[in-house]
């Protein structure tokens, strides 16, 4: 004969069992696990597919460049260009006296002193380095002119067209610069 406290505890347990969402879920799981379900047996087609997949994996593994071997993979994204060190930027700025260094055909220097950019004399994409000797101050217009001289106007027109498709016509022509980094 159960005592009163035992009856109360049992009643409480039953109540919790019905109300508690966790217990409800546990009950549902128990039902699911106990219910007879057909054991998954792979169909012949599926087995064949698995074999094909295994062969594909083996090919990938046998590639000479495996991931994690220190950037030797041909699929590695090209490294982004590091920022020009501040000391070099300052040196170039002082040397060029904060003015565009572009020389017009008559020999006069471009007077532009605003919107200046550090331009690579030998372009970064062609192996030019972040060095004092390879950097010069140019205004945006002459930055672009220099790039057109280096790469050809056809390439630049194509690049600008591509840029206008990517960023939209509003920003394309005036704000886009192919290789350059604004000073400061
Ligand atoms: Zn200029």
For 104-160, the pLDDT digits (tens) are 999 999 999 999 999 999 998 889 999 999 999 999 999 999 998 888 877 777 777
Q: How far is the CA of 171 from the centre of ligand 1 (A)?
A: 21
Q: Is the pTM of this model over 0.75?
A: no
Confidence of residue 61 (pLDDT cuts 50, 70, 90): very low
CA of 91 to the centre of ligand 1 (A): 19
Going from the Cα of 142 to the center of ligand 1, the distance in angstroms, rounded, reads: 5
Q: What CA–CA distance (Å, rounded) separates 6 from 110? A: 98
Nearest CA among 118, 116, 180 for reference residue 148 = 180
- Give mean pLDDT, residues 25-46: 62
**Minimal CA–CA distance to 134: which of 152, 121, 148?**
121
Residue 116, both tokens: 């200046």
Q: What is the pLDDT of residue 88?
A: 97
Supply the DSSP string of 103-114, one letter for each residue: B-TTSPBP---S
pLDDT, average across residues 61-90: 65
Give domain limits for the chain.
Answer: 4-31, 86-182
Max mean pLDDT range (15-24, 64-73, 132-141)? 132-141
| Contact of 77 with 85, CB cutoff 8 Å | no
CA of 110 to the centre of ligand 1 (A): 5
Residue 167 CA, distance from chain mean position: 17
Residue-level pLDDT at 60 = 42
How far away, in angstroms, is 168 Cα from ligand 1 center? 26
Count Cα neighbours of 22 within 13 Å in the Cβ-side half-sphere: 1
Q: How many whole angstroms separate alpha carbon 86 and alpha carbon 74?
A: 32
Distance 3 CA to ligand 1 centre (A): 99
Task: Measure the CA angle with vertex 24, ends 3 and 28; round to 5°.
Answer: 120
């Amino acid at each position: 004969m159960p005592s009163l406290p035992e009856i109360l505890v049992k009643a409480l347990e039953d109540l919790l069992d019905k109300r508690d969402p966790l217990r409800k879920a546990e009950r549902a799981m128990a039902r699911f696990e106990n219910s007879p379900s057909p054991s998954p047996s792979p169909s012949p087609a599926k087995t064949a597919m698995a074999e094909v997949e295994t062969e594909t994996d083996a090919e990938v593994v046998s590639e000479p460049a495996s991931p994690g071997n220190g950037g030797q993979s041909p699929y590695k994204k090209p490294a982004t260009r590091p920022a020009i060190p501040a000391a070099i930027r300052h040196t170039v700025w002082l040397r060029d006296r904060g003015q565009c260094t572009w020389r017009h055909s008559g020999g006069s220097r471009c007077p532009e002193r605003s919107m200046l950019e550090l331009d690579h004399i030998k372009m970064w994409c062609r192996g030019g380095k972040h060095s004092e000797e390879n950097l010069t101050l140019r205004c945006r217009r002459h930055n672009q002119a220099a790039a057109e001289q280096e790469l050809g106007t056809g390439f630049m027109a194509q690049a600008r067209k591509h840029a206008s498709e990517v960023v939209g016509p509003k920003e394309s022509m005036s704000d886009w610069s192919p290789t350059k980094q604004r000073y400061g």
